[in-house]
Amino acid sequence: MKPVIVVHGGAGRIFKEREDGSRSGVIRAALKGYSILKQGGTALDAVEEAVILMEDDPHFNAGCGSVLNEKGEVEMDAIIMDGKNLASGAVSAVKCISNPIKLARLVMEKTDHMLLTDQGASAFAKAMGIPEVPGEKLITERSLERWKKNLEADWNPQECQKDLGTVGAVAIDSAGNVACATSTGGLTNKRLGRVGDTACIGSGGYADNSVGATSTTGHGESIMKVILARLTLYYMEQGKTPGEAADAALDCMKTRVGGLGGIIVISSSGEWAAKFSTNQMSWAVVKDDQLQSGIYTGERITQSIEAAFASIGS
Ligand code: GLY
C-alpha cells in the first residue's frame, strides 16, 4: 500500500494575519507524518507526530494556542484511534500539559480504559512522567485577547464560535493500517468542564481498517448529535466515495442540527478527501510524494514535497 497522510488545522474562520501560519503549519505537519510513513512507520505514529507539531504551533486551537474557557484557562480534549484493532484512547478537560494527543495514546496503550478526564487525566499524566507545564505557557496573546473580548458587554459570543481551529490527522501506512488523531482547546469561553466532540469516539474521529479513518472539526455540540466521524464512514460503507461521504455527513449536520464543520478522510484503499461547510479550513495531504493543500473552498495547491519543504523553510 502507498502511504498517505491528510491533516487539518480546523474549520472555521481563518483571519488574514493567521493565514500564512495556518498554511505552513498544516504543510509542516503533513510532511512530518509522511516522512514517518515513508520510512516504514505506522499510521498511528504518523498521525500522532503530525498532531504534536500542530499542538506545539500557536496558530492552532490545540495545545499551545488553545482558546480559553470561562475562567480564562486552557482545557483540552484529544483522541487517537488505531484502525487495526479499533483500540482508542482519549483525554478530556485536561490542563497543564503540552501534548494531549500523547496522553491520549498512553490511555490507549497503558490502561484498560478509553477516556480519562480532568484531574484523573492529570494524575495519569504525572504517573506516566509527562511534565506539567504552567497553564500560562499554553496561553497566547491572541487567545487572551479573544477571551477578554468575550467579557465585553456588547460582544456577540457567536463571533468567537466561528474561530474553531481544532487539529487532526488521518493516515494509511504501507501495511494498509489506518489511524486518526484529533486535538483541540474546544470553544472560546466554554463552561468549566465542558467536553466537546473531539474526545468522543465516533464524533471527533474514528478509524477502522475495513473502511477508513476520519478526523472532524467544527461545532462540537452539533458534531456529537450526528456522530460525524462514524457517520462519514457509514456513508462510505454504503458505497459513497470519501468526498461524497464527507459532503453527505456535513450536509446532514447542517440540515438536521444547523451545525458547520469539516472532515478529513482516508479510505482503506488510500483515497482521501478534505471537506468543509465553513468558509475555510486549512488542510494538507501527501500522497505519491506530492503535497496538496488549501484553505478556501475549491482551492488546491499542488507541490512536490521538495518544493513544499522549501516553502516552509526546512
Ligand atoms: N470541535 C471542537 C469542539 O467543539 O470542542
The preferred substitution site among 61, 190, 195, 198 for testing ligand 1, maximizing ligand atoms within 8 Å of CB, is 198
Expressed in angstroms and rounded, the spacing between residue 219 Cα and the centre of ligand 1 is: 5
List 42, 166, 214, 216, catalytic entry: 166
Atom of ligand 1 nearest to the CA of 204: 1
96 vs 154, more confident: 96
Report yes or no: 215 and 88 within 8 Å, Cβ to Cβ.
Answer: no
75 vs 155, more confident: 75
pLDDT reported for residue 203: 98
107 sits in which H/E element: helix 100-110
Expressed in angstroms and rounded, the spacing between residue 177 Cα and the centre of ligand 1 is: 26
Helix, strand or coil, per DSSP, at residue 128: coil
Question: Is the CATH code 3.10.270.10 the one for domain 4-311?
Answer: no
Closest CA to 165 of 20, 296, 66, 56: 66
Q: Which three cell numbers mark 45?
A: 505514529
The preferred substitution site among 76, 184, 281 for testing ligand 1, maximizing ligand atoms within 8 Å of CB, is 184
pLDDT bucket at 157, cuts 50 / 70 / 90: low
Expressed in angstroms and rounded, the spacing between residue 142 Cα and the centre of ligand 1 is: 18
pLDDT bucket at 123, cuts 50 / 70 / 90: very high
**pLDDT > 70: percent of the chain:** 96
pLDDT reported for residue 150: 75
pTM of this structure: 0.96
pLDDT reported for residue 314: 61
Atom of ligand 1 nearest to the CA of 194: 5
pLDDT reported for residue 155: 62
Report yes or no: 305 and 31 within 8 Å, Cβ to Cβ.
Answer: yes
Give the CA dihedral 16, 23, 211, 220, nearest 10 degrees: -40
Expressed in angstroms and rounded, the spacing between residue 197 Cα and the centre of ligand 1 is: 6
| Residue 18 assigned as binding residue | no
CA 81 – CA 59 distance, rounded (Å): 25
From 12-16, 36-40, 53-57, 227-231, the region with the lowest mean pLDDT:
12-16
241 catalytic? Reply is no
| Residue 219 assigned as binding residue | yes
Average pLDDT over residues 192-212: 97
pLDDT reported for residue 40: 98
pLDDT bucket at 158, cuts 50 / 70 / 90: low
Rg (CA), the chain: 17
Q: Give the β-pairing of 290-296 and 115-117.
A: unpaired
Average pLDDT over residues 54-69: 96
The preferred substitution site among 117, 182, 197 for testing ligand 1, maximizing ligand atoms within 8 Å of CB, is 197
pLDDT bucket at 159, cuts 50 / 70 / 90: low
| Residue 185 assigned as binding residue | no
Expressed in angstroms and rounded, the spacing between residue 310 Cα and the centre of ligand 1 is: 33
Atom of ligand 1 nearest to the CA of 221: 4
Residues framing ligand 1 (Cβ under 6 A): 166, 184, 186-187, 196-198, 217-220, 223
